[in-house]
Amino acid sequence: MVKVYTIASGKGGTGKTTTSANLGTCLAELGKETYVMDADMGMANLGIIMGLEDVPITLHEVLAGNAKVSEAVYDGPCGVKVVPSGISLKGFQNADPDKLRDVMRELIGKCEFLIIDAPAGISRDGVIPLAIADEVILIVNPELSSMVDALKTKILTELVGGSVKGAILTRATMENTEVSKQKMEEVLGVKVIGIIPEDPNTRRAAAYKSPIVVKYPDSDASKAYRRIAANLAGTT
């Protein structure tokens, strides 16, 4: 059965795109037919970190009614399929977020997992991905501002009829000034389903336009992403 996860946070820069790219790649590596779609249509980064920033047709053209979904699907590492958004502002202006649900319907006929990389914030294009997923995964950094924004995103998800699977704590250093896993679970009211450590190889991998799980498979963040993916895939 297909499973649609939206990767959301509230706050910007918490690691949504990094997590979407890496979880998607890990799921594909596990033999699961997986699509990753960049629904952060204004600040589209998924294509940039997966080496697809120059492609001619993106989700923008599909949502503008100028291309078919199949024309915006590209091969990523380990067999993951990627639907990037374009980097031009004009493309964003012409893209209609209300058509996202139709794109999703078309993709879910083809895969076992669809990972949707959501934008930060609570604008219309940010709320639609929360509503259309089977479950939302909150990406939080262990700090108060990130926790508060994630809580708003959780409440918003439930308001629009969606549900939250859990939270992934990213960029964790385990310093005692950080918000703990227990505190995060207590405040958000959801389980922390994985912890990704702060890992400088994440940024290095992005510079090589490759997910960290491919470029640095033995690094700590890669091991953590593989564990979460195995749980989602039900292979552990």
Side by side, which strands form the sheet with 81-83? 74-75, 81-83, 34-38, 113-117, 3-8, 135-140, 164-172, 192-197
The dihedrals phi and psi of 146, each to the nearest 5 degrees, come to -65, -40
Yes or no: say if 47 and 58 are a contact pair by the CB < 8 Å rule: yes
Residue 170 binds: one of Mg ion, ligand ADP, none (C-beta under 5 to 8 A by kind)? ligand ADP
CB of 186 to Mg ion, least distance (A): 27
Q: Is 15 in the site for ligand ADP (CB under 6 A)?
A: yes
Residue 30 binds: one of ligand ADP, Mg ion, none (C-beta under 5 to 8 A by kind)? none
- Could you say which DSSP state residue 52 is in? -
Q: Is 45 in the site for ligand ADP (CB under 6 A)?
A: yes
Which of 13, 51, 79, 166: binder of ligand ADP (CB under 6 A)? 13
Residue numbers 184-223 binding ligand ADP by CB under 6 A: 196, 198-199, 202-203, 206, 221
Buried b (16+ CB within 10 A) or exposed e, 22-51: bbbbbbbbbebebbbbbbbbbebbbbbbbb
Which of 16, 81, 215, 226: binder of ligand ADP (CB under 6 A)? 16
Residue 189 binds: one of Mg ion, ligand ADP, none (C-beta under 5 to 8 A by kind)? none
CA pair distance 73, 148, nearest whole angstrom: 35
Lay out the site mask for ligand ADP across 71-110 (x = CB under 6 A, - = otherwise). ----------------------------------------
CA pair distance 207, 79, nearest whole angstrom: 21
Q: Which is nearer to Mg ion, 30 or 119 (CB)?
A: 119
Report DSSP letters for 69-106, one per residue: GGGG-EE-GGG-EEEPPPS-HHHHHH--GGGHHHHHHH
From 146, 134, 231, select the one nearest 188 (Cα to Cα).
146
Q: Is 50 in the site for ligand ADP (CB under 6 A)?
A: no
Q: Which residue is nearest to Mg ion (CB)?
A: 17
Q: Is 26 in the site for ligand ADP (CB under 6 A)?
A: no
Q: Is 121 in the site for ligand ADP (CB under 6 A)?
A: no
Instruction: Say how many residues touch ligand ADP, by CB under 6 A.
Output: 18
The binding site for ligand ADP (CB under 6 A) comprises 9, 12-18, 45, 170-171, 196, 198-199, 202-203, 206, 221
